[in-house]
Amino acid sequence: MSKCIGCGITLQDQKKDMLGYTPSINNPYCERCFKTIHYNENIKINNLDNNKIIKKINKLNKFTIFITDILSINNELFKSYQEINNPKILVINKCELIPNNLKLENLEENIKKIYHINEEVIFISAKHQLYLNYLKNLISYYQEVIICGQTGAGKSTLINNLLDANLTTSKYQNTTLDFIKLKKDNLVIYDTPGLSFKNNVSYDKINVYIKKLAPDFILSLNNLKLSGVGNITLYLDNFVIIKSRKENINLEFVYKITRPTDILVPGGFIFVKNKCVINSNEKLELRDSIIK
């Protein structure tokens, strides 16, 4: 059976409303990939099963390159990372978007410490082909590798640059739908469907905002509402809309910060350096700051 060279789904020409449809079974791409490539259409699908993807990764038993980006790092993501039993490396993509005041060596050290990572952590830019030589050497050494990670992290873009392949890439999530085995000379790379997490983001810019919280003001980040007392720095993707207005409402959750802390929010994180009290309408994940 033929598979789409863009997303890996099995091609079919019978059911137009089902995944894998193509008007002709001889086409290289399914209709979804064709529309994504040529018309930038976002044809949404349900998230895939993370557990099934990880089980298949472990069953392949190959050296694994796990890709994420700086705004998507959280406990849920690292739980999946730790469930991969293969020899592995953590790759943080989109490093060209990280603000210049954040030193990569400090980020690496803090991420390894906070999330108990024993393996190597490296930063790359798949889009701009920065720092890819090390990965190329790893692939040449192991000859067969798996590339996995969160959806939207840039796995397919990386593989296209490494192997000169034709995988479908887009700013949307769940582009790759099935495992794709790619060969070049004596090298083999397995592209995998993206893992989906609660705070997945897809962005092409990191916006930095410095705000002073006041108890009678509400700071809205899309649907998240914050109030409190103290100074904060927000690192957010370019799709988060920030609004501030004077409003006196009670917010259910209270966080008293006493040391450098990151508060994870949909679309990024908030850095609190000094003492601060934050109230929110949602339960939030806190960690020792990766940028302290």
pTM assigned to the model? 0.80
> Whole domain around residue 17: which residue ranges?
1-43
**Contact assessment for residue 105 and residue 92, using Cβ atoms and an 8 Å cutoff:** no
Q: Which one is predicted more confidently, 227 or 156?
A: 227
Q: Are residues 30 and 136 in the same domain?
A: no
For residue 70, tell me if it sits in a domain.
yes
Q: Are residues 18 and 91 in the same domain?
A: no
Overall domain count for the chain: 3
CATH number for the domain harbouring residue 134: 3.40.50.300
Report pLDDT for 59: 94
Q: What is the DSSP letter of 35?
A: H
Q: Are residues 165 and 70 in the same domain?
A: yes
Q: Are residues 146 and 213 in the same domain?
A: no
**Contact assessment for residue 213 and residue 229, using Cβ atoms and an 8 Å cutoff:** yes
Q: Are residues 125 and 252 in the same domain?
A: no
Question: pLDDT tens digits, residue range 60-78?
Answer: 999 999 999 999 999 999 9
Q: Are residues 137 and 271 in the same domain?
A: no
For residue 200, tell me if it sits in a domain.
no
Q: Are residues 187 and 52 in the same domain?
A: yes
Closest C-alpha to 32, from 23, 41, 167: 41
Average pLDDT, the chain: 86
Q: How far apart, in whole angstroms, are the C-alpha atoms of residue 57 and residue 123? A: 22
Q: Are residues 60 and 29 in the same domain?
A: no
Q: Are residues 15 and 2 in the same domain?
A: yes
Q: Are residues 187 and 269 in the same domain?
A: no
Confidence of residue 18 (pLDDT cuts 50, 70, 90): confident
Last residue of a domain, one of 191, 225, 247: 191
For residue 30, tell me if it sits in a domain.
yes
Question: pLDDT tens digits, residue range 195-206?
Answer: 888 766 778 899
Tell me how many helices (H) and strands (E) the chain has: 6, 15
